[in-house]
Structure 1
Amino acid sequence: MQVMEGSIDKISLIAQRDYERKLGLQKQKETKDSLSAGNEKLAFFNETFTNKRQHIENSLTQSSNLDKTALPQHFDTISKEILLLQKYVANSNIFLRSYDIKKCHESLQELTNKLKELEDTLLPKKKFGFKNKPNPKPPQQKPEKDEVDFQTKTITKELCGFFNKTGETLIMKGDEIFKKDVTVEKLENCVVKFPGSPSTLHLNQMKNCHVFTGPVSTSIFAENCTNCTLVIACQQLRLHASCNVNIYLHVTSRAIMEDCHDIFLAPYNWNYDNIESDFKESGFDKNTNNWKCVDDFNWLYVERQSPNWSLMNEEKRVKNWNL
């Protein structure tokens, strides 16, 4: 009886070891398959990213050969392609390594910088003010104040927007801004309202201001904004060199920020007559809002929240705007 029990124990031990061996082989196979699939995904991503980046670089290179009238649409298309590529990277973060993500963000930043340089070079903004330039001719009579005011107003009207204002409430709406490029620059302690659908909005050197917009059909570019509240809707938001800004945002892509801190986000909540038709005219879906999705080019750690922006506490959000 003792011999039989020993034999049974030995057989059981052999069976157990065989089972463990087979289990180990199965795990090795699964690990190998998993690594293989991961490598295939990474290889496909790298090929796709490289092709898309090369396409954008080719488009940027072609910019100087295009007619000036075609450049706004050309640059807008490139901007959207950069955003789509950025979104592709974000959606692939699950299998990308930190090194891969960092390199992709660096490439995206290079494309964005090159696009901005080309925009500044090929489509320079009109300048304000009157500089004294050397003139070999005898000095002409200084224009009367009324004439200078008229010239300044004409330039401002051409640019469409508001400039060099303090402590005012400023409004443009409807046909004044429809499908136009709007610029707001050098404002302090102002309330600015754009009920309507402009093509783009540029904000620069804003201090202690409130800005309200209807749906901007393409992009909002905001820089050098301090202690401001922006209640804005757009396809794309690019925020640069700004701090202490509350943004009530409707954006259909991922917002981009760089060199910013103390940025607080909440969902867009401005309302005015005909806003529904403006959303329809602007061409994007009011039900698609990625207000929580921000790519911070100064923070490349995907697994950790950027310290430069956060969601606004609900109790601190303004519910009704009566400015």
Structure 2
Amino acid sequence: MIDELQKRSELRRKAILTERQQQKQIQESNKNPEENAELFTKNFNEQIKLIEEAVSKKETFLNSTLKLKTGYLNNIDSEIKKLITLLSESTLFIPRYDQQTSQRKIESFIEIHQNLRSELIPKKRFKFKSRKKLPTRSQKNGKQTEFGKEKEKEKEKEKEKEEEKEKKEKTNQTKKNKSTNNDGNNENSISFKDLTNEQKLLNREQCLDRDIFLSNLKNCKLSIPVLLSSLKIDRIYDSVICVGPVKGSIHLESCENCVFFLASQQIRIHDANNCKFYLYASSSPIIETSSNVGFSPYNFSYPNLKNDLLECNFDKSSNQWDNVKDFNWLRSSKSPNWYIIDEKKRESKIIEK
């Protein structure tokens, strides 16, 4: 009995020490939001791999016992909950786009888990036993009045109307949810999509302090010499994009053979190949699954640039354009996926009016 109490006391002591260490790590990581965001991405991706590995073992449980199937499903459910907890504890220091992407990934895993449960432990179909209808008083007497028939018809019509109303409400809610999640679909957003061989110079009245979404542009030249709220770039090819300072974050994905002039507090680059980036970045630019990408200081100029930089509290002396972090290169040596553009080969873009 005494040994058992000592064991419990020791376990309790170790749990308290572990919790204190975790709290200390969280406090230390909060001192540097950039490192915290990198740590979140690393841990989130590792957790995703664990879940994907577990899901891939489905075949081995198809013909196993109910107990083994239940344990397998519970294990996946537990790993998904860890993913949810990790995201909820990190929302203060990761960009909004990353939050939405991570949330969609979690939702996909939840759906996969539900499908696995349906496949491994299908529910038995429930059937209602047929009951004989109790005869109404009018039927007992062998007479059913026309008034009673009309009443029943009215009730059926009302029921059909209620069901139709519920369907419409569900459909409207689904459409509303979809529109909320779509990029460039709110009142403060402007989208430029599906353009080829276009040249555009946008003015302050069109874009000042707006959310900009650029998607599927080919062989285009686009200049936005104005302060923006946020910027998302997706599927841009053989193009030149020049943008004024961005108050929020910039997220770029799936671009090839392009030149970008960008300024922001945080810049995330995914799936970029053979591109050049002229940057102002308050924190380290982050690249992932990218190759042959070059970096140089921000070299885009227009009449109101100084005021726009001041409004964002951007200080050119603290530009971290060359402190690039490659999430696919975890070694201490420099990543081979990016390079610094030679000074003699650097470009500049100037808008005088």
Q: 2:101 aligns with which of 97, 114, 117?
A: 117
Task: Map 1:106-255; keep pairs closer than 5 Å.
Answer: 106-107=42-43, 115-118=99-102, 159-255=189-285
Give the Cα–Cα distance (whole angstroms) in 1 for the partners of residues 212 and 281 of structure 2.
18
What does the per-residue CA deviation read over 1:133-178, in whole Å, with 9 as the maximum and x for residues that have no partner? xxxxxxxxxxxxxxxxxxxxx9798740311101111222323222
| CA offsets 1:95-146 (integer angstroms, 9 cap, x no match) | xxxxxxxx88622756669624256589xxxxxxxxxxxxxxxxxxxxxxxx
**In structure 2, how many angstroms separate the alpha carbons of the residues matched to 1:201 and 1:167?**
21
Question: Any idea what SS the aligned residue of 2:256 has?
Answer: strand
1:83 partner amino acid: E
Given that 1:217 and 1:284 are in contact with CA atoms closer than 8 Å, whether structure 2 keeps it comes out as no
User: Is residue 2:329 matched to residue 1:299?
Assistant: yes
How far has the Cα of 1:313 moved from its partner? 1.1
For residue 345 of structure 2, the aligned residue among 313, 316, 322 is 316
1:317 counterpart letter in structure 2: R
- Per-residue CA deviation, residues 261-284 of structure 1 (Å, 9 max, x unaligned), is 011001111111111111122233
Give the counterpart letter for 1:50 in structure 2.
I
- Describe the shift of the 1:244–1:49 C-alpha distance in structure 2 as closer, same or farther (beyond 3 A): farther
> 1:160 is paired with a residue of what secondary structure?
strand
- TM score, norm. by length of structure 1: 0.56
CA separation in 2, counterparts of 1:270 and 1:283?
17
Equivalent position of 1:282 in the other structure = 312
CA distance in 1, matches of 2:299, 2:255: 21
Matched, 1:85 2:69: no
**1:292-319 Cα deviation digits (max 9, x unpaired):** 01111100012x0001101011121124
> 2:21 & 2:335 partners in 1: Cα distance?
25
CA RMSD of aligned residues (A): 3.5
Segments of structure 1 that go 5 or more residues without pairing to the other structure are: 1-43, 56-79, 88-102, 123-153
1:218 Cα deviation (Å)? Answer: 1.4
SS where residue 261 of structure 1 aligns? coil
What residue identity is the alignment partner of 1:222? L
Aligned-partner residue type, residue 313 of structure 1: D
Q: How many angstroms apart in 1 are the aligned matches of 2:189 and 2:41? A: 34
CA offset digits 1:206-230 (Å, max 9, x no partner): 0001000111111110000000000
Match for 2:198: what amino acid?
A: E
Cα distance in 2 between the residues matched to 1:269 and 1:318:
7
Q: Which residue of 1 aligns with 2:164?
A: none
Q: Which amino acid aligns with 1:253?
A: S
Stretches of structure 2 lacking an aligned partner (at least 5 in a row):
1-19, 47-86, 88-93, 107-183
CA–CA distance in structure 2, aligned partners of residues 267 and 109 of structure 1: 31
CA shift for structure 1 position 288: 1.9
Distance 2:297 2:23 in 1: 36
Counterpart-to-counterpart distance in 2, 1:278 and 1:179: 10
Quote the Cα distance in structure 1 between the aligned partners of 2:257 and 2:21: 40
Change (3 A) 1:162 1:104: closer
CA distance in 1, matches of 2:188, 2:105: 20
Q: How many residues align?
A: 208
Query: In 2 relative to 1, CA 276–160 (structure 1 residues): closer, same or farther, beyond 3 Å?
Result: same
Provide the C-alpha distance between the structure 2 equivalents of 1:108 and 1:121, rounded to a whole number of angstroms.
10
Secondary structure of 2:36's partner?
Answer: helix
RCO comparison, higher one (Cα < 8 Å, 6+) = 1
Q: Contact 2:302 / 2:350 at 8 angstroms: preserved in 1?
A: no
What secondary structure, in the 3-state scheme, does the structure 1 residue paired with 2:262 have?
Answer: strand
State the identity %. 28
* Separation in 1, partners of 2:305, 2:104: 32
